[in-house]
Structures are given as C-alpha cells and as structure tokens.
Structure 1
C-alpha cells in the first residue's frame, strides 16, 4: 500500500476516534449534572430516527417520554445538544406560563436572510414581544365574528361538494377535500381573494400549499434540523427551500396592498388588519403605544405566509382525522348531527352563535386534537440559568426544553385507554379531574398559538357543514390507524384517508 494511502487512512482513523471521544464526552453532560438521562447513540443522540427521516419527530419524542416513566424530567441529546424532556405537569406550567421569562424563545434557528421566516413563530425576545402585542387584537372573538360569514360561505361550498361525492358513490380522499376547504377559508379570510380550490383542485393557492408541505429530501432534512439542532443549523446556514414560495407571497402581498391603498379598498379580513399595522402601527380602535413601530411590507409578507401555512395544513389534519374517527363511530356521529341540526334550527342557520352553542362538537374537536396534535412537540430555550424548583438541578442558559404532546396525550395514567376516541374525556366533569398542562395542542402561556380560535372555528364549521348534509362511512381501504411521515415536523399521515359520503335522509 502506498505511504500516502497509509497516512490518509491513519489520519481519517484518528479524526474519527477523536470525534467519537468528543461526542462521548458530550453525552456525559447530564450524568455530570446528576440528572437521569436516556442513553444516546452516536452521532444523533436520542433523535437519530427523526434526523434520518425514518420516524416522525413526534413519535421519537413520545418514545423517549414513555421510557422516562416515573421521572418528572429526563436528560436527552438532540444530536449533540443537551435538552431536558419535561414530563411533570407542574414543571410544564412553570416553563410555559409561570416562569415564561426564563423560557420565552422556541429555540428554533431563524434564517434571517429569508424574509418570510421573520414571522411570529420564529421571532425571539423583544422583537417577538412587540410583534405579538400588535397581532393579538387581530384574533379576538369580535373580529372573528366579522370574518364568520366568509368562513360560512366556504362551508356552504364544502356541503355542496360533499353532496356531489355522495351522489358519485365512490370513496373520496378527505385530506384533499379538507385541504381545499381550509385553503379557501385561509385565502378568503386572510387576503380577501377567492382561491376557488373547492371547485378547482389545481387552483394556484392549492398548488402552493402542496409545494410547501411536499418538500424535497434536502429541504425536509433542513427543516427537521432547525428544530433538532438549532446551533448546527445556524452554523450550516440551513435553507428550507422556500425561495420561490417566498417570492410568490411577497409579490402577492405587495400587489394586494398597492391595489387597496391606491383604490381606497377596505375589507374585513386579516390583510386589512396588517395594512393598518403597516400604516398606523396599531389597529383601528386600539390606542397607539408611544413607541409604535409600523410593520414593513416584508413583515406583512412574513405574517401572511405564516397565516397561510399554519392555517390550512393544521386544520386540514384536524378536520380529516375528525371525519375518520366519526366514520368508525356512527353513534357519536349521529349524536353530533343531532346537535348541529338543533343548533342551526335554534339560531336560524349556521351562524357564529350556533357554532358556539355546539358543546359536543367542541368535545369532538378537543378529542381529535388529543389524538392528532398537528405540532406534536413543543420546544423552548432556557434563556438564563434556572434552578428547577424542589430539586438540586440548575439548567444552564441555552439548554433546550422538549415537551412531548404525543407522550402526554397518550399517557394511560392521564387518559385511560388512550387509543380509544372518546369525546367524553372533555366534558366539564372530566376536565376538572386533571391538570390543564397535560393537554396542550395549541401550547399555552404567552406563546400560545395566536390563531387558535380561528383554527378551531374553521374546523368546526367544516365538520358542521359536512355532517348537516351527509353521513361519512369507512371505505374498504380506510385505515383504522394512521402512520406518520418521518420527514416532517408536523404530524402528517403517510397515506390518504378515503371515506364514503352518503346523503342524509
């Protein structure tokens, strides 16, 4: 063997051993601090299957949660980064609410060079605080009432589509059906534009939605790395492949704003509220703060993009999974239909107050979100050294915090027989028996999902619209249990959800 080959093999071997030793020492972090830890594996720590796209991030975190049974918290490693997986509801309350000041950032890497990334979900520190304060008034129940008629019109179209499917007699893919409905809602309520996705499956906004949530191998790996190893993502300057999507949204927003301002057009939608924030620094009717900062056009683009991707995909999963469960549970479906019929008759139609009156619908939606939380893991960053109450453990600044929603939501000690779909878990009597910090589909505290009410409302209207006209039944190929895509961070099924629609008698 030539000498240079021998030297090369020796150098590579020494480098590999040195790297392994470096990782091995890093993987002793929690032991040195007296914290129980789950055994990591070189080189991805406890999240190898998620990094490689073999198992979804949510399922890996759930497995770690189950392995740590009996512990209030346990140390894990996200690649080489130490993170604390929190299981105890009281400590979760401290992280999310009581001691929020010490955990106010998500700990997800932000690529500042991509304008649409500068949205509320990713922002940090004071910049997040100011943006959140500006946007919160846009999602009050009063403003949702103004938007309800638009949502209801999309629901009417969904009813008509469901009836046509019933007449065809063929199984329908409800994820696609739900995605087209929620896209119509989000685009209409968000931008005052008719996306026409329910009539036209190849509509522009539907195609952009598919593009965002069907990224290539490189982009999906990059997106997982943003959550799993923020510092490595920042070092590598990871991109998520949103460049063309970003360009589309920035142009669309710029054109919409220019048209409305030059033609003095106002509408009761999210875009109009963003325009007010751009021009005034606050919404109409709100007292402007003395240091009011107006949003830039890029800020409008970022928040509009966030409104689009968060609004349609999460509600698509919720609506389609609720229909799947109700198809297998005809008694529950019949009970819900009776409630919908009664509320619509009482209020003279499907209006905001009629939906608010549907208590069982609320329970069905809550149980759906228990079994299928769209974002199955909550991440936080420890922003300062923090001593965990009633322990000898002090978390160092920069430590990651992980809360497994699948772990909590499927914990049999909290939700007995967790695989069973049971809306009665969310009756007032049952909710009073358990901590509110074991059920967190929208997060909690100051960083709770800002669009929670809108997401719930469009899902409820979609369910009511379909079930008021049709029954849903399993098709021969309908799955009893869904499997999850390992390449994403959101909980997305690997297959479709075919169901049969039958017109109600």
Structure 2
C-alpha cells in the first residue's frame, strides 16, 4: 500500500520532470523545419506520441497515424516526446539505410532504452549493442544458427511439440463440440519449453505446470506505469534513470533470470558439463575470444576483452534469446491459427499439403520442411499482416545525405521505419486486411518491392534467430494441423484488438479458438 507521502513524492517528481521537459522542448520545436522536412504539429513535452505514453493505443497505431498524415511523401518528421525522429516511408530509402548504406546506420538508436550493466544488466545484449561491439558479437554468435546446428535441435523441438499435444488432448473433449483454447497461453507454454531446452538445457515443464519461467517471461512484456516516468527522465538525460534507480523491468523478474543463468553457468563449469545449446556457445565465446592468446592470428584484433564480455554479458545475451524465442514465436503462431480458423479453405489447403508430405515420407523431419511451400506462404502472410515487432529503429552513425532529396542528416538523428504501416499499404498489398497467402506464391513473391516486406528486418542487422523461429513455427504447424480442426468460438475476438501502451503487436485477449480432434 503506497503511503500519502510516497504518492506526493512520485507526482512531485513527475511535475518537476514535465516542467524541465517543457523548457527543453522549446529548443527542439523547429528541428525539422530548419531541415525543410514536413512535420506534424506536436504537443509540448509529449511530442506526437501522447496517446501511446498514456497507454491509450499501441505504438504501431501512433506511427500509422503519422504514416497516413505524410501521405505520399517519402518521409516526415515527428517527435518522440522532445526527440526529433524521421519516419521513413519510401521503400528505396528503407533498402538504402538497411543494406547498401548500412555503415551510416549501424546503431538501433532506441530513445528510451538505457544500456547499463549495473542498473539494467540484462540489457547488455546483441540486439541493443552498438558499433564495433555489435559487429564482433554478431560475427561470433552467427555460427550457432547454421543449418546443421538448427537440424540438431529439431528433435528437442519435436519433443516439446509432443508435450504440447498431450496438453491439448487433456484440454479438448472427445465430443463433436470440442473445447475452447487460449492460443497465446498454449503457445507461450510451448515456446518456453523449446527455448528452455534449446538455449539453456533446462527442462521448464511449462506444458505440465504453471512454471516460473512463463510467469516471469510474461512480466517482461507487461506495460508498467513506471515506464511513463522512465520515458520522461530518459529524454532529459538517461543518467537520471540510474540516479533514481529505474530499471527496464521489475527487480524480482531481473533477479530470477540472472540467478537462473548464473546457476546454470556455475554448474557447467564446476561439473565439466558441455551441451549443444546457445548458453554453451556464449560460454565458449567468453573462454576463447575474450583472450587474445587463444584467438587465431588473423583475429588478434577482432576480440572482446574479459572486461567487455563477462558473466553479465553471457546472461544478457542468453536472456535475449529467451525473450525473442518466447513472445514473438508464440504470438506469430497464435495469429497464424487465428487466420486459419477464419479462413477454412486456406486451413484445408495447408492440411492437404502436410498430409501429402506425410504420406510420402511417413515421418516429417527437419530436411522435409523446405518442401512445404504453401506453408511458407501462410507464415509469410501471417508476418505481413501481423509483424510482431511493428517498427524498426536506426540511428545515424555517420553524417548522411539522401541522394533523392538532398536531405542531410547529422550524426545521432533517430529514424523509425513503420513496418506495420508499410505491410498494410494498399500501394504494395491490395486489400491489406485480407489474409491471402497467394501474395507469397513464387510468381507473386518475385513482384514484392524491396523494402516493403521486413518482418525480420533486413541487411546486416536482420534477426539472427530468423531460421530458428521459422523451423519451430513450421514444425508446430505441421504437427497440430493434422491432429485438430480449429474454428472461431464465442470468445474469439473479430476483428482482433491489440494491447494499448505496448510496442509489440500483442492481442488484448487470447486469441481463443475451438479445437476438435480429427480422426487420424
């Protein structure tokens, strides 16, 4: 129970911060007009994102209003609170900054994220890394996602899928009516078990019980009121977050993941245990590439020192793979089944493709998944309509000029690419709200304009776990579609609504579907 004094102190702090931001805002107000960039009138302090800050809409909705406001312009200026940000719309320019001129846009430039080992130890990972540190980390981590190593993890994934089927069977009645299932909860349990065994060698048993991994994982993505204060302070000076000890997540959640990973590291070191998983790869990275003595001669200057890659860095990068492999994959599977339930012809066509492959191979292995071309199209269309991270962030690391417009942008300029809006632009995808996998058949796929389909990003900083996620999604769909029919139920939200105050594209409810067993 918060005391009256604490209540007054919190709101006094907020009041002081708003006053400071009000004055700070004056110096930034004409930033885009000085560069001859069209911008949208903003609210002092809150800029153009007030509804998101007040948790009245999701961030992609805020960005989409700006996207529509700038109409046919290639870009437009707006303010994330007091921070001038360029909203980039033109596919050619998007491809330019993500790929061809990547060296000018190395860093992600998250405005409200504070990477700090003491305050936010779990923030020191690859996704938020900048500059040379990012390049070295990316180079060292990429080998864990080669085709051979991914195939070696397939049996571990399939063992978790088998447990998922037992979970569904226990919750679905044998009668013709079937049972209603919360897809998000179901697939969160699955992906927790998968990432637990493939990343850490830990049996989470989420499909058998209400384990801590899932409950703590869900907490990571929950919107918090404290985040509003955090955003205000970050705009003034990110060091204020350290002063007021405001971290990215609740301390008990942070401590749970840190202690779990530390304990696993210590157990392996003490007992000489080595596994083929992501945590082991990170431990090997520390043991080998943090010491110049063990690095090959041609890599002597391509290392991280012990101070630059310690146990905190191992824990942070292991945590990155946990959150990336947990929430995003679970949500994608949920949206995919949701659309299959609403589009029975697509569901039947996909089932026939899988059935035909099974009749041919008896047991579908990892090498067989590439034959499921229609499934590829279904997943691609799911990610077009529902890009789980509906925006890409970049920051200019070297002064740059857009050749098409002669716009010169200084170092430090923030850029946002509104992925969701581009995926829903009628210029690129006619009838964008329609779920149509045929957009991604071989003939149509070749016509997709570069820079208009980027659910995993593109260029050197594309999602490192892309192939792992695709394999897990395909393996899950392959199994579940042969065993069950799924259809809307009384709890199904049509159209789907999204959580407010979040950056991720998360459903506000469920989604729920009715499952009935098929005769196999």
> So what's the TM-score if we normalise by structure 2?
0.88
> Which has the higher mean CA deviation after the structures are superposed, 160-169 or 311-320?
160-169
Aligned counterparts, 1:166-245, within 5 A = 166-167=172-173, 169-200=178-209, 202-219=210-227, 221=228, 232-237=237-242, 238-245=246-253
1:111 counterpart residue number: 115
* RMSD, matched Cα: 2.4
From 405, 419, 427, the equivalent of 1:405 is 419
Task: Indicate conservation of the 8 Å contact 1:171/1:475, yes or no.
Answer: yes
Deviations, residues 73-108 of structure 1 (Å, cap 9, x unaligned): 111111111111111111001111111111111112
CA distance in 2: counterparts of 1:271 and 1:318, whole angstroms:
25
CA distance in 2: counterparts of 1:321 and 1:247, whole angstroms:
31
From 386, 397, 400, the equivalent of 2:400 is 386
Task: Indicate conservation of the 8 Å contact 2:179/2:516, yes or no.
Answer: no
CA distance in 2: counterparts of 1:428 and 1:391, whole angstroms:
34
CA distance in 1: counterparts of 2:20 and 2:218, whole angstroms:
44
Structure 2 residue matching 1:394: 3-state secondary structure:
strand
Structure 1 residue matching 2:394: 3-state secondary structure:
strand
Aligned counterparts, 1:268-287, within 5 A = 268-281=276-289
> Which has the higher mean CA deviation after the structures are superposed, 420-429 or 19-28?
19-28
- Matched positions, count: 486
**2:300 is the counterpart of 1:257:** no
Deviation at 1:240, TM superposition (A): 1.6
Task: Indicate conservation of the 8 Å contact 1:106/1:379, yes or no.
Answer: yes
Deviation at 1:16, TM superposition (A): 9.6
> Which has the higher mean CA deviation after the structures are superposed, 153-162 or 135-144?
153-162
2:497 counterpart residue number: 483
CA distance in 2: counterparts of 1:357 and 1:125, whole angstroms:
39
2:514 counterpart residue number: 500
From 131, 147, 160, the equivalent of 2:137 is 131
Structure 2 residue matching 1:280: 3-state secondary structure:
helix
1:74 counterpart residue number: 76
Deviations, residues 188-210 of structure 1 (Å, cap 9, x unaligned): 1111111111111x112112112
Deviations, residues 307-356 of structure 1 (Å, cap 9, x unaligned): 11111000111000101000011111111111112223333313101222
Quickly say closer, same or farther: Cα 1:217–1:21, change in 2 above 3 A: closer
Quickly say closer, same or farther: Cα 1:79–1:19, change in 2 above 3 A: closer
Quickly say closer, same or farther: Cα 1:223–1:480, change in 2 above 3 A: farther
Unaligned runs of 5+ in 1: 1-14
Structure 2 residue matching 1:268: 3-state secondary structure:
coil
**2:300 is the counterpart of 1:290:** yes
CA distance in 2: counterparts of 1:105 and 1:234, whole angstroms:
20
CA distance in 2: counterparts of 1:150 and 1:16, whole angstroms:
51
CA distance in 2: counterparts of 1:352 and 1:305, whole angstroms:
26
